[in-house]
Amino acid sequence: MSIEEQSHWRVVSVSVKGTSHEKRGQPCQDANHWRVLPNGILVAAVADGAGSANLGEVGAKIAVSAAVETISKLKLLPADDLAWQQNLIEALRSAKTAVLAESQVREVEVRDLAATLILVVATPELVIAAQVGDGAAVVGDGEKNIFLLTEPQTGEHINETTFLISEPGVETAQVKVWLGKPVNLAIFSDGLQMLALRMPMGLPHSPFFVPLFQFMTVVSDKQEATKQLEEFLRSPKVTSRTDDDLTLLLAQFSSPT
């Protein structure tokens, strides 16, 4: 089985249960979803269900699916970055609406499905991201530079963040545009923040990303790639630094020859 590759994008994504959730018998509350559109456009999302939410994993799954599918169903793809930004905000709204609808179907409080959400659209010429809550996304160019695309949204207290279902969630979302030809992309949930970002500046930590981007270059089997990425996230190198659920989505773009 070859690695997932469409329109010159190679994508590997994994969400794994954190050691704290394993000990308490809780499910993994992270989720990820992605799709490749025509013209070499990748749409990808990562969400993290709130630890205090009884159905956080449900909210996360609904959020990533609704956001990606909203962009995927666009009849006309935007012609410029401003139009893309507007469409990403609409996708966040659609994701919030889907989560609200699910709470009504289940007859539970919407806070039971609280989750963060990062949505990224990567074209051969630019990358656009919209984010509510923590976690982050980075992009790498052909010169091996790594740029922070979005950054964690945190509150006054540690582990405090904004959730999609909150009143200011969509209105205060980060919307960022990176102009250039992307080669590598990484989106990750907040469980990896302390490893992936140099604190307190919050800049990409190159020693974390460089081996992962090289991994995407050499691995060609999808099943093996997923297995290796999962093993990495479960390794002592990672779990000694965090006990949270972990999601990492890696993508690599190769220009047509």
Q: Domain residue spans in the chain?
A: 5-253
pLDDT in tens, 191-232: 999 999 998 788 999 999 999 999 999 988 889 999 999 999
Structure tokens at 40: 């070499």
Q: What's the confidence (pLDDT) of residue 143? A: 94
pTM for the model stands at 0.94
Nearest of 131, 250, 155, 136 to residue 202 by alpha carbon: 136
Fold assignment, 5-253: Phosphatase 2c; domain 1 (3.60.40)
Residue 77: pLDDT over 70 = yes
pLDDT in tens, 234-251: 999 999 999 999 999 999
On whether the CB atoms of residues 9 and 36 are closer than 8 A, the answer is yes
Q: What's the confidence (pLDDT) of residue 216? A: 96
Q: What's the confidence (pLDDT) of residue 24? A: 87
On the 0-12 / 13-18 / 19+ scale of CB atoms within 10 A, 116 is: buried
